[in-house]
Amino acid sequence: MQKCYIDTETTGLKSEYHEIIEIAIICEDETGRITESFYSKVRPQFIERSNPRALEINGYDAKKWKDAPSFEEIAPQIRRLVADCVWIGHNPKFDYEFVQEALFRCGHVPVRCRLIDTTVLVYEHLLPLGCDGLSMDSARAFLGLDTSRAHTAAFDAKQVRQLYKILAGASWFKKLYWRWRAKKRGLCKW
């Protein structure tokens, strides 16, 4: 079963009301080799429903999205990529609900996926070491990951993949190193 690292950027927090404006999917096989990737801006149909703060965070600019396809145009490709995959994301339920809702609106049958949440891995591996929260931004800060293009779907999907690889195979020695580095940088609370 293929793994898909998925991130979306949206016009708000409610999948039944707001829309996806950017989506990225990185697929890999059982060996961890990337087999396919997909990225697209998505032209919103109801921009007037948007939460202004969400648009600010996501860097939405009508000029940059002018030539973007509608979700309906890319829906078949998205459905093909994610059908029956192991969906990995940071709070993947959020992205999964948006994709399901968008597919439904386009007349596509919803997809079935198993979800793996990197938030749980942050909780298990980083929070006890002093990470200040469960967000992707907190994990990035704690691990010293690049944040230059945070909150763009393509960059966040790559970093979810990186975070998963780092945390899923973390040894006690690696955790000790993270604690030492966090303490040295003043991030560790104990």
- Phi, psi of 124, deg, nearest 5: -75, -40
| Residue 181: per-residue pLDDT | 75
Strand partners, 25: 6, 38
Q: What pLDDT does residue 170 have? A: 80
- Report in angstroms the alpha-carbon separations of 42 from 8, 62, 156: 10, 11, 16
Q: What is the pLDDT of residue 138?
A: 93
What does the pLDDT read at residue 30?
93
Domain boundaries, the chain: 3-184
Residue type present at position 57: I
| pLDDT string in tens for the chain (190-residue length) | 899 999 999 999 999 999 999 999 999 999 999 999 999 999 999 999 999 999 999 999 999 999 999 999 999 999 999 998 999 999 999 999 999 999 999 999 889 999 999 999 999 888 888 888 999 999 998 888 988 888 999 999 999 999 999 998 888 788 778 778 777 776 665 5
**16-29 residues labelled b (16+ CB within 10 A) or e (exposed):** eebbbbbbbbbbbe
Strand partners, 5: 26, 88
Query: What tokens were used for 28?
Result: 């890999």
Contact by Cβ (8 Å): 82, 92: no
**3-184: CATH topology:** Nucleotidyltransferase; domain 5 (3.30.420)
- Long-range Cβ pairs for the range 131-134 (8 Å, 24+): 131/182, 131/187, 132/187, 132/189
